[in-house]
Structure 1
Amino acid sequence: MKFYICSISFRHTLTSFQDLISFAGERGFAGIELWGAHAETISEGDPAVTERYVAEMRDKGLNVSMISHYIPLMAPEEDMPDVMARWRRLIALAELFGSDKIRIFAGSRPSVSATPRDLELCAARLRMLAEIAYESGIYTVIEFHPDTYFDTLPSAHGLLQAADHPGIRVNVDFLHVWESGDDPLHALNVLKPWVGYFHLKNVSDRAYLDVFKPENVYSPSGDRRGLTALSEGVVDYARILRHLLQGDEAYPASLEWFGDRPAQRLESEMKWIKQITEQVQAI
């Protein structure tokens, strides 16, 4: 498996893209999952510099695994021209950074609030976006995430079947799967035909799940209580990683860390993952 850092982990630090490239290469990561806001900012600079970044990553055997951003998927019909313009811009950014994946969310409301018409419209729009991106060889990756139409296994599975497009993949966030009440490995088996990416993060107790709410995550002064190492939280990542490393689900995986000192934490997490990998290889 290949493991990536998320540039969003460094959202509150003065860390350049060059520094992220160096850090990823020196610590054994395969590259960077690039937050859309960061991708946009980098692209607004000298195009020759961006080209050098991409070439440097390629020379080091690294890559941008995915552009992760947000699209108002369920916007009113009159706003859809703007949504489509934003989508084509994300496709251009993916092409610029040599990535074949764009991560989005399936709306911004919980699936329990969705009407049949809502789900029908969501599936149709996912299919439309996926078709446009697929023409450029780019997958549309939908994240399993609370307060979206992809927040339970039944709703996610139903939307995937309804959208029915080869360009759609799922980003399985194991913590959010666990949060929904499903066993992560059971969900992985159900979603297997569509799986294309993994997010790895953990929390010390269910009581602290609000730490991942967007309004908290993006705030420099947000609450970070409950954030913990992959090896120490409520989700059994040793079990999950052993399953992934022994099986055929060798999809890219990003380590999401939203707390302080991201470089130190990510380096520590990668050391632990290498220990698990060595244990599996020794079997």
Structure 2
Amino acid sequence: MHICLCSISFRHELVSFGELVDFAERTGFQGIELWGVHGKSLLRDRRRELPGMLEAMEARGLGISMISDYVDLLAPEDRTPQLLCGWADLLDLAQAFRTRKLRIFAGDRPSATAAEREWALCVNRLGQLAGQAAEAGVQLVVETHPRTYADTLDATLRLLRDTGRSEIGINLDFLHLWESGTPPLEAYRELRRWIVNYHVKNVAAPEQAGLFEPGNVFSPSGKRDGMAALAQGAIDYAAVFDQLNQDLTPHPIAIEWFGEHPFARLEKERQWLALWSRPERQAAHAN
């Protein structure tokens, strides 16, 4: 398994890029999923140093698995030039960090509220951006996420079907489709052909899934009680990782920890995930 940490887990911490690389190598991670905010800051302030930083990172067996950012796909049509300009900047960012994947959300409104014109606007823009990304050697990745046009399994499948672009990948966030009513393994089976990345996080009880709403997650004073370890929450991740290990998934699995003490918690999560990479467990699935 290719296990990555998400730099967004350190959104409220005073941590350097070098410290994250040191931590990732020491604790057995294979890569870092870079939050766009962090990437833009590094490119702005340390552009000349960046190639050397990335070469040193790669020499230690690590890389940037994906950049996660945001595009206003439902902006008014007269804002299209600004949207395309921003997308070009994000493609440059991905290339600067030597990653081939760029994650965005499919709008910022629930799929159930989508008018046909809004849906068509989102679909058309996704297709246009995916084409431009492919020309730049980057893959557009849509995340399954609440209050977007990929907030349920049916909406995600419809979006992929209507866009009709094979270049588009899916970042399957198990928790977010689970909170919409889809069991994790069903989401995996239905979306498997499009999946290029996974987000994993857990919650103590289903009614606490709202803890991951952006307004709470990004607030320094937001609620954190109820954010649970992968092994201890409401989602049965043991069954999920058994299946991924059995299928020899080649895609990165990125741990998102939004609670306190990210260094300690991410290290424990990585240790738990290491159980699925042990030879004896792999041998058990082969028999």
Residues 198, 252 of structure 1: 8 Å contact kept: yes
Partner AA of 1:44 in structure 2: R
Residues 102, 141 of structure 1: 8 Å contact kept: yes
1:280 Cα deviation after fit? 2.3
Residues 71, 104 of structure 1: 8 Å contact kept: yes
1:282 Cα deviation after fit? 4.2
Match in the other structure for 1:194: 194
Question: Matches of 1:12 and 1:23 in 2, distance apart?
Answer: 17
Match in the other structure for 2:224: 224
Match of 1:172, SS state, is: strand
Deviates more, 1:255-264 or 1:161-170: 161-170
1:48 Cα deviation after fit? 2.5
Question: Matches of 1:111 and 1:44 in 2, distance apart?
Answer: 35
- What are the superposed Cα offsets for residues 151-171 of structure 1, whole Å, 9 maximum, x if unpaired? 111110011011111220000
Percent identity, aligned pairs only, is: 43
- What are the superposed Cα offsets for residues 69-90 of structure 1, whole Å, 9 maximum, x if unpaired? 1110110011111111111111
Query: Is 1:66 equivalent to 2:66 in the alignment?
Result: yes
Unaligned runs of 5+ in 2: none
Query: Is 1:160 equivalent to 2:160 in the alignment?
Result: yes
Q: Give me the CA root mean square deviation.
A: 1.0
Unaligned runs of 5+ in 1: none
Query: Is 1:45 equivalent to 2:45 in the alignment?
Result: yes
Question: Matches of 1:216 and 1:157 in 2, distance apart?
Answer: 28
Residues 244, 250 of structure 1: 8 Å contact kept: no
Q: Stretches of 4+ moved more than 3 A in 1?
A: none
Question: Matches of 2:264 and 2:248 in 1, distance apart?
Answer: 30
- What are the superposed Cα offsets for residues 206-249 of structure 1, whole Å, 9 maximum, x if unpaired? 12111111111111111112101000011110000010011043
Match in the other structure for 1:275: 275
Partner AA of 1:107 in structure 2: G
Residues 138, 167 of structure 1: 8 Å contact kept: no
Partner AA of 2:156 in structure 1: A
Match in the other structure for 1:109: 109
Match in the other structure for 2:243: 243
Question: Matches of 2:210 and 2:186 in 1, distance apart?
Answer: 24
Match in the other structure for 1:127: 127
Question: Matches of 1:16 and 1:144 in 2, distance apart?
Answer: 29
Residues 99, 138 of structure 1: 8 Å contact kept: yes
- What are the superposed Cα offsets for residues 163-218 of structure 1, whole Å, 9 maximum, x if unpaired? 11122000000011111101111111111221111000000011211111111111
Match of 1:156, SS state, is: helix
Match in the other structure for 2:79: 79
- What are the superposed Cα offsets for residues 134-155 of structure 1, whole Å, 9 maximum, x if unpaired? 1011110000001111011111
Query: Is 1:31 equivalent to 2:31 in the alignment?
Result: yes
TM-score by length of structure 2 reads: 0.96
Residues 111, 147 of structure 1: 8 Å contact kept: yes
1:13 Cα deviation after fit? 0.7
Deviates more, 1:127-136 or 1:242-251: 242-251
Match of 1:48, SS state, is: coil
1:166-205 aligned at under 5 Å gives the runs 166-205=166-205
Match of 2:264, SS state, is: helix
TM-score by length of structure 1 reads: 0.98
1:5 Cα deviation after fit? 0.5
Question: Matches of 1:83 and 1:236 in 2, distance apart?
Answer: 39
Match of 1:34, SS state, is: strand
Match of 2:48, SS state, is: helix
Question: Matches of 2:227 and 2:12 in 1, distance apart?
Answer: 16
